[in-house]
Structure 1
Amino acid sequence: MALVSIIEAAKLAKVSRKTIYKHLKEGTLSSSENTQGHKVIDTSELIRVFGKIHLDSPEEVTGGDIEGDKKKQEVTQGDTGKDIETLIENAKLKAENAQLRERLDEAKEDKEKLFAQLSEAQATVKLITHDKDTATEKKGFFARIFGTK
């Protein structure tokens, strides 16, 4: 995916730089550093946090902060609108995939908690029924006559 500067991220998300920095500080938006040491944000992160990003022209995606030759090959100024739409769709799918993985992890944790509660409940029921069985145990004929168990 394309990596953009903080300024470009603010333009794409149609928010202020202050909002971008706030989300970075809170941890809701992640960033990395490019080869010059500047903070850059992946467009898929922008889509995950802000929903839709707004592209006015292909130059916005190729703002010069794209990291590595591979990234430069993916998004160039000669790309058509269809290629950019594909990149945006890919970013959306990656963000959705990340959200689904988080939900799956949460569901697994809930499942483990429920199994633990079920085990505790089964152990409690077992104790209760065991107490009833020993309390109402009938004595046999000889036990009643001779007083032994």
Structure 2
Amino acid sequence: MAPLGWGGLFLGFFVIFVFLGFYGARWRRGGDLSQLHEWALAGRRLGTFLVWFLVGADLYTAYTFVAVPSTVFASGALYFYAVPYVATVFALAAVTMPALWRWSRLRNYVTAADFVQDRFKSKLLAGFIAATGVVAEFPYIALQIVACRPYLR
């Protein structure tokens, strides 16, 4: 281990990431956060490459390394479905999402419901898509809560 030990290593990384956080706040200034596309999509200024890393980091952090293993440990092999599911969905998204990203940017879509409403001219179908998106988040949230439960005691 380094001469400063784990504390020095932690402190070094802490200083680096604090610097990057303050630098990032000034890197690409945001716009009016009362606008949905500014708040939800960072004003569409991040670019495909950075968004690809952000989505990957989101999928492969808390969900993959905390929620899934602890739920498998607590409940058994039933939750092993999540490992190939995440890998498959991320691969499919890497193939299909760049085209959807460009189309959404061109048409100023913020959500999948915006796309559906414009493409199929149906507010009802767009409402169902939005509701499905919300309901689809419930298992993900539940898995996170179940994973955290042993630590809350």
Report the TM-score, using the length of structure 2 for normalisation. 0.33
Larger radius of gyration: 1
Choose between structure 1 and 2: higher helix proportion: 2
Report the TM-score, using the length of structure 1 for normalisation. 0.34
